[in-house]
Amino acid sequence: MARTPKKHPIRNFTALLLLAVLCIGVAELSAARFEDPALYESVTAPAREAYESLLARANDYIARQRAERELRRQQELERQRLLEEQERERQRLLEEQALAAQEASAPILRDRLVFADPTITEFVAEGEQEFLTGGNVRITYYNQGDEAWARKLFGNDPIGGYGCGPTALAMAAASLCGADATPESVAKWAAGAGYCAPRSGSYLSIVQGVAEHYGLACASLGALDADSLYTTLSDGGIIVALMGPGHFTGRGHFILLHGVTLTGGILVADPNSRDNSLAVWEPQLLVDELSKSRHDGAPLWLLTQPLGL
């Protein structure tokens, strides 16, 4: 059986009374607006100020919320931009490292070599050591393919296949400051110092690392034009050059530039070719075949004896 709703006469009367008061108040305020503006203003001012204050706070809150959302959006966009930039840089370094990989390979260009006169440069043997004469300093010559260390390891890779970096730098260290440096000893130290790039030869930072280890001054030259290369080399020192595909390699390869000739040529010590080391090279050809890598000082570094030696 359905229950009959209770009636509340007092509550209903109170509600009607309040409604009546509200209506009367609104009517009186409306009348006062025209008949007594000052009274109207004094009565409504607190309510209007409260409303305006509440509206201002609401607008301020909305503005802060919008600003926070925009800030979060900008932060997310910046985070995405940085991630994309880091990925592009990682890919660029991987590509450069691939271009500069120093696996011993046959050159892709083969021209008849113009050999230097023996009075300019030649190989001479003193005991078990071989030297390359001429240029700025007499080069203590090593070849990465020599039986003494071709099968020795640079990291987990054979020096004969991947050790042009340690071999070239061993020549530089031994020639400039008389260091007891061989391809094997430099490869062992460089691998322990983290300069071995597995199946790719050496990280390009090996040049500055080995120079510091043996106390040599090392300056990155960037990519010079032919005239600047010739002039810089004629002032002394040895230049480590990272070559790209061409007359020296099919991939990447470290060689030394150790002197100039009066006829405008450049003398080279190639750790993978005795013939190349006896030839005279045109500066422009060398510049044209430099590696495209441009990090860690590549593709040219000038090594000199530190002051006081």
- The domain defined by 123-304 folds into Cathepsin B; Chain A (3.90.70)
pLDDT at 158 over 60: yes
The more confident residue out of 90 and 164 is: 164
What does the pLDDT read at residue 90?
A: 72
The pLDDT tens digits for 182-236 are: 999 999 999 999 999 999 999 999 999 999 999 999 999 988 999 999 999 999 9
* 0.75 exceeded by pTM: no
What whole-number distance in Å separates Cα of residue 210 and Cα of residue 232? 21
The pLDDT tens digits for 272-296 are: 999 999 999 999 999 999 999 988 9
pLDDT at 98 over 60: no
pLDDT at 22 over 60: no
What does the pLDDT read at residue 118?
A: 95
